A = this chain, B = another copy of it.
Amino acid sequence: MENQDLRNTGLKVTVPRLKMLECLGKAQDRHLTAEAIYRQLLEAGEEIGLATVYRALTQFEAAGLVTRHHFEGGQAVFELERGPHHDHIVCIHCGRVEEFYDEAIEKRQRAIAKKLGFILRDHTLTMYGECSRPNCQGQNDES
């Protein structure tokens, strides 16, 4: 339960934070912008400020509760951290995000970092393409 997750971070357990985690937790899309969270909570009748959403997301990220991704398109998206690391493929038409994990890629990355003399701390791999939905493939592209 989110309550405990929050407590473990040293952050105080507040209504806005709980609602935000709930929102992230039950989202079909799993990858939400700060504004999306803000709007959803507003529409649900919550009283919340956009500043609070950004602030809390940053704290969640620092606490490892949430991951921030910078896909193309200006706005960062946030994803509730559950389970192990994975990378993403994003549809350039509808924005759908799929996740994947590939041990072969991870292994090559470690080898490359080592060869270049880096201590690897993090990485982001994002593929962009056209997903299998009817309107997504074979457009003449306005990405």
Chain B residues with CB under 8 A of A118: 89, 91, 98, 127, 129-132
B124 and A125 contacting across the interface, CB-CB below 8 Å: yes
Chain A residue total in the interface (Cβ 8 A):
33
Q: Are B123 and A125 in contact (CB under 8 A)?
A: yes
Copies held by the complex: 2
Q: Which 7 A-B pairs have the closest CB atoms?
A: A117-B132, A118-B129, A123-B127, A119-B130, A125-B125, A122-B128, A120-B129
* Residue of A102, A118, A131 with most chain B CB atoms under a 10 A cut-off: A118
Tell me which of B112, B120, B127 contacts A102 (CB under 8 A): B112
Residues of A participating in the B interface, judged by any CB pair closer than 8 Å? 70, 72, 89, 91-92, 98, 100, 102, 104-105, 108-109, 112-113, 116-132, 137, 143
